[in-house]
Amino acid sequence: DAKDLVVPIVDEEAIAYLSQVTAGLHSLVLGEDQIQGQVGQAFRDAESSGLLSRELNKLWSRLMHSSRKVRARKPKVASPSSVAELAAVLAKQHGSRIAVFGAGVTGRTASEALVRRGVDDLLFVNRTLAHAERLASHFGGRAVGLREFLKAPIDVDAAIVAIRGQSFRLPADQMKSLQIVLDISQPAVVQMESRSGGPVLMDLDALRHHGQQCRGDLEAWACEARHSLLTNSASIWGQLRDGRSNLGHLIGLHVEN
């Protein structure tokens, strides 16, 4: 069916799009800080798997350089700079007893945002208890393994979930104070029975509206960044296509590294 066909973007257009993604211009939270690191990790994973060609290696260094340049001009604003921070803001609005599920980068970022906002009653939940205990020791709070929590849930006002792996059913009916569950896992992992007057379950799609409300202070920067990245992408594509190098750019990369 023609409507199911997807036309791929290639060459200069593909580089421009990836540049904008790396700079956080296509993120749920405009200018999100974590995206550049995630793109860099994708290149490193490809390299370790032997899938990174010479051209892609060149693209990698140039892509990171152009992203850092536009992000350096990003103004400091009060709005959240990541999905994890946005989740922390919404969780704090519903109470001070908050559970953080997951001990990875996203869970740690959410915890940092909660502590900055004065939350001091944190519960850390993770499949591996030792990882939850490390966060509890660092930020202050309690720790419990996910399996134990599901058997004997601890009541909290809000929960932020950032866990990879199999989905699980949250026993919200046994958590009388629970008002909101923010599942920012990719993909979502929380299953929960919806009931009248029960806690709200929000995944990344549901958070998109809140992310849009935080864009205002960064729109001018985003417009300038898109223009800069489009211009730079044309230059990068020309270098890759023709097999030529920009000596000044290479010196700049060397000095920066």
Of 215, 185, 219, nearest to 202 by C-alpha is 185
The count of other CB atoms within 10 Å of the CB of residue 141 is: 21
Q: What is the pLDDT of residues 40-65, one digit of tens each?
A: 999 999 999 999 988 899 899 999 99
pLDDT tens-digit profile of 89-130? 999 999 999 999 999 999 999 999 999 999 999 999 999 999
Q: Label residue 8 left, alpha or beta by phi (over 0 means left) and psi (-120 to 50 means alpha).
A: beta
**Choice between 80 and 117, residue whose per-residue pLDDT is larger:** 117
**How is residue 14 annotated by DSSP?**
H
Tokens linked to 235 = 């230059």
* Helix or strand run (H / E) with residue 123: strand 121-126
Asked if residue 7 has pLDDT above 70, the reply is no
Q: Indicate the pTM of the whole model.
A: 0.79
Residue with tokens 């919200």: 172
Two structure tokens written together for 40: 């860099």
pLDDT tens digits for 190-223? Answer: 998 766 778 999 999 988 887 776 677 788 999 9
CA dihedral 110, 221, 245, 18 (to 10 degrees): 50
Average pLDDT score over the chain? 89
